[in-house]
Amino acid sequence: MPPDPAHRGRLQHGVSSAVAWAGRHPVLADLAVPLFLAAATVGPAGGRAGAITSWWWLAAAGCLIPLAWRRGHPVIVFGGVLAAATAITVADIPPLALTATAALLIALYTVAAHMPLRHALVAAGAFEAWGVPTLVRWSPSAAILPGTLLLTGTAVASVMTGVNLRTRRAYLAALEDRAARLEKEQDQQAQLAVATERTRIAREVHDIVTHNLSVMVALADGAAAAAPTSSVRASQAMEQVAATGRQAIGEMRRLVDTLRIDEAGADHHPAPGIGQLDDLLTQARSTGLPARLVVEGRPHRLTQGAQLAVYRIVQESLTNIRKHAHAVTGATVRLKHTSEGIEVCITDDGQPAGRAEPAAGHGITGMRERAAAYDGTVEAGPCAGGGWRVRARLNAGRSEGP
């Protein structure tokens, strides 16, 4: 009759519960083993008058009590149990032979489960060195060979079981360590990603706010100066201020929208690129800064990120010209398409009095960070014939396609 599935399920559940309980209470589990062996030893011997003597108690205690500390000191416990088993053989107490054998196999298993393999092999050899002579002494001659095979087989099984348990424990520990390291690396990568994103957002906000505010201030100053003599020009300048403000709000809204995660109905506007440079220069000219755009080489497609980098570099350069240069009569933005990428050069003919050094401020730093993202560089400094020049090279900004 096949076994009842429900009964088999209850048995498996009981075994799993016992293993889990032993894992949670290792000390009690270690104590349970010698207590069980003691009960199995005392029970049969108690029915025979005079079987239990003081030497019997001493020998049994020497085999069983050390097993309570077998996890903490496996080699020492095995040696103690082996010494007690040898004393049983020498004192000629055959009723304790099975108890001694069971205690030695448990100690041997513990050595294999907690110590290197060489310790287990030495312990197995010691077990064989005790077991075979004991078997020869107390067993009939016909049972010596089968008994030796059984003794050797149980020793090998104990060693293999212990080694497998130790290997499995080491494997699980390695998996836990790897999981902990992966979790730590993921946390570090997340922190780096957050820092990178914060830097990018700060750079975008700096470029948008600085440029548009400088344009609005210049237009407002012009409107204030023209108001007493020409209300029409003042009105046009203020209309341009309003348009610039709306453009700044639109760019800020686009930047905020990129921080949202697939928000339904979000109005995602395309990031500015090379196609918007004409509008940028028109805006600069409206503030009184004569600027022109020169394109050299055969234009090719650039990634949207590279185009945004070019746009922001030009935008920041024009902002710096308005803020720092004096007596400017013209500015030139030159785009040169090369086989490696694109080169951007912004020059002006103003007087550089009071102009910041290239490494100072967030503007130049932001330009260099944008160029570095595309394996490029940024150089900024005075021109030989007067004025100021910013040159940026982006080496990896092209995209494939027509």
Strand partners, 44: none
Q: Determine how many CB atoms are found less than 10 A away from the CB of residue 8.
A: 11
Pairing mode of beta strands 342-348, 388-394:
antiparallel
Tell me which residue of 326, 346, 324, 323 sits closest to 393, measured CA to CA. 346
Single pTM value for the model: 0.46
Q: State the pLDDT at residue 53.
A: 62
SS3 call for 389 = strand
Q: State the pLDDT at residue 358.
A: 46
Q: Which residues of 291-313 are buried (b: 16+ CB within 10 A; e: fewer)?
A: beeeeeeeeeebbebbbbbbbbb
Check if the beta carbon of residue 132 is closer than 8 Å to that of residue 148: yes
Check if the beta carbon of residue 352 is closer than 8 Å to that of residue 376: no
Q: State the pLDDT at residue 159.
A: 92
Question: Alpha-carbon distance 315 to 309, whole Å?
Answer: 10
Polymer length of the chain: 402
pLDDT (tens, 9 = 90+) of the chain, 402 residues, equals: 455 566 556 655 554 565 555 556 566 666 666 666 666 665 554 444 445 566 777 877 888 888 888 888 899 999 998 998 888 888 888 778 888 888 899 999 999 998 998 999 999 999 999 988 888 888 787 778 888 898 889 999 989 998 998 898 888 888 888 888 888 888 788 778 777 767 767 777 766 666 666 777 777 777 777 777 777 777 777 777 777 776 666 666 666 665 554 444 444 556 788 888 888 888 888 877 888 899 988 887 788 778 888 888 998 888 888 777 777 888 899 999 888 889 999 998 887 554 444 444 567 887 888 888 888 889 988 887 778 889 999 886 554 443
Check if the beta carbon of residue 99 is closer than 8 Å to that of residue 56: no
Query: What is the distance of C-alpha 304 from the center of its chain?
Result: 30
Query: What is the distance of C-alpha 280 from the center of its chain?
Result: 43
Burial of 58 (0-12, 13-18, 19+ CB in 10 A): middle
Check if the beta carbon of residue 296 is closer than 8 Å to that of residue 344: no
Check if the beta carbon of residue 376 is closer than 8 Å to that of residue 394: yes
Alpha helices (H) along 287-329: 304-324
290-402 architecture in CATH?
A: 2-Layer Sandwich (3.30)
- The segment(s) of the chain belonging to CATH 3.30.565.10 are 290-402
Q: State the pLDDT at residue 261.
A: 47
Q: Determine how many CB atoms are found less than 10 A away from the CB of residue 389.
A: 17
Q: Copy the structure tokens of residue 267.
A: 């109005």
Question: Alpha-carbon distance 174 to 172, whole Å?
Answer: 5
Tell me which residue of 320, 312, 296, 295 sits closest to 380, measured CA to CA. 320
Strand partners, 317: none
Q: State the pLDDT at residue 34.
A: 66
Q: State the pLDDT at residue 46.
A: 46
